[in-house]
Amino acid sequence: MHVVSRSEGSQTNPFQETFERLRARRWEQARTSAKQRVARLRKLREAIVARREELYQALYADFRKPAAEVESTEVLVVLMELDHALKHVAQWMKPRRAATPLLLAGTRSQVRYEPKGVVLIISPWNYPFQLTLAPLVAAVAAGNCVCIKPSEKTPHTAQVMARLIQDVFDPSEVVVVQGGAAESQALLELPFDHFFFTGGARVGRKVMEAAARHLAGVTLELGGKSPAVVDNTADLKATAERLVFGKFINAGQTCVAPDYVMVPAAREEELLGHLREAIEHAYGKTEEARRASADFCRMVDDAQFSRVNGLLERSVAQGARVALGGTVDAASRYIAPTLLADVKPETAIMEEEIFGPVLPVLRYDTLDDAVRFIREGSKPLALYIFSQDDATVERLLADTTAGGTCVNTVVMHLTSAELPFGGVGESGLGNYHGEFGFRTFSHERAVLHQGPLFLLKNFFPPYAGRAGKLGRIASRLFE
């Protein structure tokens, strides 16, 4: 099995040998045809389908994730990404013709897509399969050699992925490195051609520093406090159902989960009522039923449980009202689906991305107030707008920024291979999915061919004669 541990190798860096093996294959991999890349991706698809049950068991063992949720949020998303790449990779690989400006008459130009080379993918624990395999699909489609570092917080899933990669790829094409922070740091010391990281901003900064040291490309898929804005025209029942789905799937441990909801003060209680009904329908009518629900997973580890529970306790102590939920169990890392009302901007729950099953509801008086509040925070990964008024939607799109936005739904933009997925500012740098992912892992190389007609010779020195005059005449054409 080509799963690498820190003990491998006798070099100063324990993964130097692994890196060199990938780099030795880099040029051969770059020359692979569309047919060869399709064959690799198809083999990967077949291996995923064959391991569905293993993935269900692994993700349940890691944090009690329901099989149906594994299927819809992990397996299905990756299969969709694979099918899109299988259909389009040949077209993506073709050189793109570029127009010829007048002064370059006699030439022809194109943009060629060439692989970056050897790339590192550091993936997170919250969607460990999807957020490892989706960027891998793009990197392989683009013709790269790949080193994968999955999260140590989901070890069972990491083991399944390692076996899957072993069966699909040659160890000189794709390799899995397991371990924790020390292993990640050792990998960041190596001169990869592109660093792709999904996780938090603190580690994201370290990845960006490493990329800067190597003058390499970097993609950061981070997170942040993604707001949902509800206006007076919204269908509150439908809004509540969709917010509950987006917030409490994966127990709130979703980078694009609605982090908090802003609602007109006059409609707050009505929305809270619909949110309660939606939670009860999804997970059970009583606290006991919700705790026993097979459809609600757990916090991934004790540290995550303690962090979210601490935010909840401090918020309640500061005056936030528990409108539903609020119960916890440290032994099983359970935090109930929780609604918080009477939340103020300075409440503890608003200090950082929650990344857990607590949904704060904030009141606003005017849309100007909502816009101002969103702008005062860091740029979010997602913004969710619930409104039947086109003018309101356009106002929020024009006056805010976010990595992505959904109108009258949540999270769904993440599933489309036709849309770029990524953040802005604190929520990330760069994007991927579909052709956007192919381009992320490719270098766009400009190529210009000179034909027999060579007009530029007339601009060569000496400049005292015709060349100088032609230069001045040409410049005036663009005044």
Annotated catalytic residues are 221, 255
Residue 317 CB partners (closer than 8 Å, separation 6+): none
3-class SS at 333?
coil
Tokens at 217, concatenated: 């490309």
Q: What is the DSSP string of 163-211?
A: HHHHHHS-TTTEEEE--SHHHHHHHHTS--SEEEEES-HHHHHHHHHHH
CA separation (Å) from 156 to 72, 181, 353? Answer: 19, 18, 26
* CA gap 230, 363 in Å, rounded: 10
Buried b (16+ CB within 10 A) or exposed e, 114-133: ebbbbbbbbbbbbbbbbbbb
Kindly give the interhelix angle for 130-141 and 34-50, rounded to the nearest 10 degrees: 160
Q: Is 292 helix (H, G, I), strand (E, B) or coil?
A: helix
**d(C-alpha 371, C-alpha 451), whole Å:** 55
HSE-up of 417 (CA within 13 Å, CB side)?
23
